[in-house]
A and B are shown apart, each in its own frame.
Chain A
Amino acid sequence: MIQQAEHEFLVKATHDELNRQSYISDLRMYLLNTIGAGLHDVYDQQVRPAFEAEHGRSPQNGDEVLRGMLKHQYCKTWSSMVRATQEMIYDSVIPSVERAQPELNERVRAANQRPTLGSLDLDPMVEVPRYVSAVDVHCKPGNYHKEHTAGGDASQGALCDRSLFVYQAGAAGPNCDSNGRTIAEAIRHRWPEFKPRKILDIGCTIGNNTLPYLDVFPEAELHAIDVSAPCLRYGHARAQALGKAVHFHQMNAEQMKFADSSFDLIVSCILFHEVSRAALQKIMKECHRVLRPGGLAIHLEGPRTADLDPYYAFYYKWDGRFNNEPCLETWGETDIRKIAEEVGFKSNGYVELAVPDYSMTPRAKFIQAVTAREVIKKRSAGHWGEEDLCLPLYGMWKL
């Protein structure tokens, strides 16, 4: 497994912490891939036949599959272990963060107040919305936004950085940025004549998926927003440590403080499954407003459950039920194209792509996938590291 790229703000692990975190990455992948493969057998050989015997038809959606699967001991065991492992991720990183404080906060503050690159604009009037604060998303203690001390705490940002790498088991690269890189490269390859000068990433957390836009569009001015002050503080420091100029702002994307037609390109990376349906409508409307005519808003997100066969719809929904992701199932049932039209994007400006990971795909195959005509295809839900996993990109030009 590759190692996480070190930078001056990444918390250091002791010898044993590093090996514990590596083990937990391996455990998580083992549960999802090896034990998880058995789930499909359980479905095919036991759950689906039992359902068919009872109802005279196969299961038609993820809910029907989930109800049957959770009666089965194999699925109960798998579920219990996956949930426990998720919690172990954070448990294994928290000691590293605690040990790094209070010195980490002092260094982050210095980077925020005397930046060499980019800027940080915090607004204490920005409230963390309930769809973020009601539960600790992804089971992360302290969530995105908890402040453990007064005077400017970055602990949750630091926890984010290292725990994300453990969660991904390195599959998103040493800087946890393969998603952002994939979006940026998809845009560049599909629309090579499009040269955005001002880019906005909404819901950026610590900015790991924000930075790649500067690799692909080095002349652009890059902005990023989030509601979480700890993540923004840390993200601003981290971006500087990695040599990237990003202007971070504490804002809720439902109500952005930017003027109309401010940006050429607006992006988001797996944000929409973490916002409420009502918030999504407002966010999309704001995207339309702050996008300049001729600009592009494009969002990486998970699939619609209707596009998945019922078994994979169950697998995808599992996180929505048991991983503290209370908006995920709603996203799976959302017609984003319809919302785009409701907020003013024209129907002929909509494009949807199924894009393989940029770093893990041979270049020619990547280019072929991103330049294909609009493709919406049934696919497995999959998870990190799975070959041929394609990430949906939902795009809308402001024509």
Chain B
Amino acid sequence: MADIKISPLNIGERPCFFDDPAIDQLLGMMLAVSAELSVTRDRLDTVERLLASKGLVAGGEIEGFRPDAQVAGERKRRHEEYLQRILRIVREERQRLTPFDQMKQYQRLVEEFKKP
């Protein structure tokens, strides 16, 4: 039987929410990168635990490692801290990002401190 390949595209118009669709794409890329970094951290976490307990790590030991409830809980907590860090800019949205060429308050300070 042939191998199966499932296309990752889903049928249907795909919404973009920003005037510039590049922004939606950047957000999607950021989320995907965040997942890969998290996976790497979780893998390192596995390696550290194994090193601590055994001092020697064989490939099969990492592949066979499965988190118990305690480890899963700790990972979940770390995921939450991680998400706070990555999504900081969204949570702080009310601070209002300012277009780079309209930072009037900041410019006033620069002028103030420029005064002899």
Contacts and interface: CB of A to CB of B under 8 A. Distances in A.
Interface string A87-121: 11011101001100110011000000000000000
A371 B81 CA distance: 42
A121 to B, nearest CB: 24
A73 B94 CA distance: 10
Contacts of B3: 98, 101-102
23 contacts: A1-B73, A2-B69, A35-B90, A75-B17, A80-B16, A80-B23, A80-B27, A81-B90, A84-B28, A97-B4, A97-B6, A98-B3, A102-B2, A134-B11, A135-B10, A135-B12, A139-B10, A140-B10, A142-B7, A143-B11, A148-B4, A153-B4, A159-B6
Contacts of B101: none
Q: Which 8 A-B pairs have the closest CB atoms?
A: A135-B12, A102-B1, A136-B10, A19-B42, A84-B28, A76-B17, A26-B79, A101-B4
Contacts of B14: 83
A38 B88 CA distance: 13
Contacts of A324: 10, 12
Nearest to B62: A15
Contacts of B112: none
Nearest to A133: B11
Interface SS of chain A = helix
B11 to A, nearest CB: 5
A141 B7 contact: yes
Nearest to B97: A73
A90 B8 contact: yes
Interface string B1-45: 111111111111011111000011001100110111011001100
A92 B34 CA distance: 13
Most chain A CB within 10 A, of B35, B63, B66, is at B35
Given A78-B90, A97-B6, A101-B1, 6 more contacts: A34-B91, A77-B17, A88-B31, A94-B8, A139-B10, A142-B6
Nearest to A100: B4
Given A15-B46, A80-B27, A87-B10, A98 B5 contact: yes
Contacts of B93: 38, 73-74, 77
B38 A23 contact: yes
B11 A38 contact: no
Contacts of A77: 17, 27, 90, 93
A184 to B, nearest CB: 27
A72 B56 CA distance: 53
Contact of A27 (B5, B17, B35, B90): B35
Contacts of A321: 15
B10 A141 contact: yes
A70 interface: yes
Given A20-B39, A70-B17, A81-B27, A30 B7 contact: no
Interface in B29-84: 31-32, 34-36, 38-39, 42-43, 46, 62-63, 65-66, 69, 72-73, 75-76, 79-80, 83
A115 B86 CA distance: 49
Most chain A CB within 10 A, of B7, B69, B87, is at B87
Given A15-B43, A26-B80, A136-B12, A98 B63 contact: no
A22 interface: yes
A148 B6 CA distance: 7
Contacts of A26: 76, 79-80, 83
Contact of B24 (A1, A80, A134): A80
Most chain A CB within 10 A, of B23, B43, B93, is at B93
A97 B6 CA distance: 9
Nearest to B1: A102
Interface string A149-190: 101010100010000000000000000000000000000000
Given A148-B6, A159-B6, A324-B12, A3 B72 contact: yes
A27 B36 CA distance: 12
Interface in A52-91: 70, 73-81, 83-85, 87-88, 90-91
A47 interface: no
A148 B91 contact: no
